[in-house]
Amino acid sequence: MDVTADEARSRPRGVQETQSRWAGLGSVMQYVLLLLTALVFIVPLFWMATASLKGLQEIYTFPPVWIPTQPKWENYPNAWNAAPFTRFYINTLITTFFGVGLEIVNAALTAYALVFLRFPGKNLIFIVLLAALMIPVQVTILPNYLTIAALGWLNTYQGIILPGASVAFTAFLLRQHFLTLPTALLEAARLEGAGHLQLLWRIVLPLSRPVLVTGILISVVAKWNDFLWPLIVTNRLNMRVLPIGLSYLFDREGNNQWGIIMAATIFVVMPIVILFIWAQRHIISGLIAGATKG
């Protein structure tokens, strides 16, 4: 039951103080849980960053040495020269850029068709899209590999990119957001003579910027960190990507130079961290703009 202001004032002072104390304790517990959750993610990143400047002795020391006493900055050039990371970076940038571009274009067109077009079997296609969300990625590896091999696209950029150009989750995410867009605005644009591509480019996508940026960020992270498919579809060193490139730094006998490996990991992680910081600003601003519209 809701408590009115008069009923709250009529309560004994001790009861009010007890309720205020419990409310304050609840707020403190929430902040403690948030802090612990943040530490779960921050501590490994901090350890990775500091370990990239340590030698093996400091890395294996217990209790842990969190701050290196003599930073070994040479770990970074040693890591870069230990494998052809320049080529790995080029390959990863190409496959991520074009892979994300094709995925977003495909998802936007699919979502627009499922929401704003009328054609037979539209609901059935949406059900198939939902079913595709339940299929593990590993199930599609064999048919994708046989198709790419039959086309002669092994050890090629298109062989890495095209199987990931259609992702059901991104299309589903955009489709759900397109359903919330005001139909009156689209009808007004149609009366002005706008076609479907103009509606998508000038109205639907600008109104969907927060979700679009979120979809791009999810796609970039997935394709930048993809290990299994590029490993299967390539066997040449000059076509490897960054996640596979890290494996070249591990010693088969277990004599790993962890400082150099952590420095190489920084090369892989930092672009994603920077992108997330940039994308987070756009997502928050877009959500605030959407919340203040009447």
Amino acid identity of residue 184, one-letter, is A
* Structural domains present in the chain: 83-249 (1.10.3720.10)
CA distance linking residue 279 with residue 142, whole number of Å = 34
pTM for the whole structure: 0.81
81-98: burial string, b at 16+ Cβ within 10 Å, e else: ebbbbeebbebbeebbeb
| Cβ pair 112, 204 in contact under 8 A | yes
- Tens-digit pLDDT string for the chain (294 aa): 445 555 545 555 655 566 666 666 777 788 888 888 888 888 888 888 898 888 888 888 888 778 888 888 999 999 999 889 999 999 999 999 999 999 999 999 999 999 998 888 888 988 988 888 888 888 899 999 999 999 999 999 999 999 988 888 889 989 988 988 888 888 888 888 888 888 888 889 988 888 888 889 889 999 999 999 999 999 999 999 999 999 888 877 777 888 899 999 998 998 988 888 887 766 665 444 444 444
Q: What is the DSSP letter of 250?
A: S
